Amino acid sequence: MGILIDENTKVLIQGITGRDGSFHLARMIEYGTNVVGGVTPGKGGQAIDGVPVFDTVEDCVKETGANTSIIFVAAPFAPGAIRESLFNDVPLVICITEGIPVKDMIEINQRLREGGSRLVGPNCPGLVTVGKSKVGIMPGHIFEPGPVGIISRSGTLTYEVASELSHAGAGQTTVIGIGGDPIIGTTFIDVLEMFENDPDTKVVVMVGEIGGTDEERAAEYIKTMSKPVVAFISGRTAPKGKRMGHAGAIISGGVGTAESKIEALEAAGAPVAGLVSELVDKVKERID
């Protein structure tokens, strides 16, 4: 079954005529995603790969019934693109863009709390419900259907973990990258709860990294789960005060260390693997 998206999801692409939007449009269509429209102001009436382009999200939603938006818009304009989808009540918004200012995300998260939409990202690779729909930039060929749900802060580690699990015969239900920025729309806890309630997901893999306290908070929720969770924390050797990769991956004020995250997760009953190969072994033990 998977979570958030499936074969019935109707996707619109904000920034569809740009380099990234048009490139990943083709990849999503190739995977089988139902892309029904796109938005680029001033370019309405065109079509790309047979997909109609509209000037506004409002027009696209009215004409196509789109219920999911993915944003490939440059950072200065991405907050406005997110707000446009939220204003038009698009239920699920996925923002690939990185470099969005924290102050914009504070205001956007307030809007999310007041409305009924969900934002995944920003600065994320999107998500895949395997064999049904791919909304994002993940390489579709690495996934195989199976009982493992994956949630990750790291884009490239998401791919590596999914690929290694697939090669080991441990396929996936849904794979989601939530993004590594300090403020994001969907958290570990949000997705853990979805996987807990998904009947097809039997084991959950959680890929975290240094910085912030999201993993420690997630550990408290894991204590309440009936399904096994296996974790991996990247950045164990990063020097303190040095940002590694994502804007949120920085240790400061004595919090956000790999040690604190590992301790919290293991105390919650979620084993933490030191290597991806070890992670795969731990997952297979819990499937079998």
pLDDT tens readout for residues 265-278:
999 999 999 999 99
Q: What angle do CA 94, 160, 154 make, to 5 degrees?
A: 45
Q: Which portions of the chain are predicted below pLDDT 70?
A: 236-255
What's the CATH class of domain 138-287?
Answer: alpha beta
Does the model's pTM come out above 0.85? yes
Active site residues: 246
Query: Buried b / exposed e across 7-31, counting CB within 10 Å, b at 16+?
Result: eebbbbbbbbbbebbbebbeebbeb
Per-residue pLDDT tens digits for 117-158: 999 999 999 999 999 999 999 999 999 999 999 999 988 899
Under the phi-then-psi rule, with left for phi > 0, alpha for psi from -120 to 50, and beta for the rest, what region is 4?
Answer: left
| Distance separating alpha carbons of residues 127 and 65, to the nearest angstrom | 20
Q: Do domains 10-120 and 138-287 have the same CATH topology?
A: yes
Does domain 10-120 fall into CATH 3.40.50.720? yes
Query: Structural domain boundaries of the chain?
Result: 10-120, 138-287
Helix (H, G, I), strand (E, B) or coil at 94: strand
pLDDT computed for residue 244 by the predictor: 55
| Average pLDDT value over all residues in the chain | 93
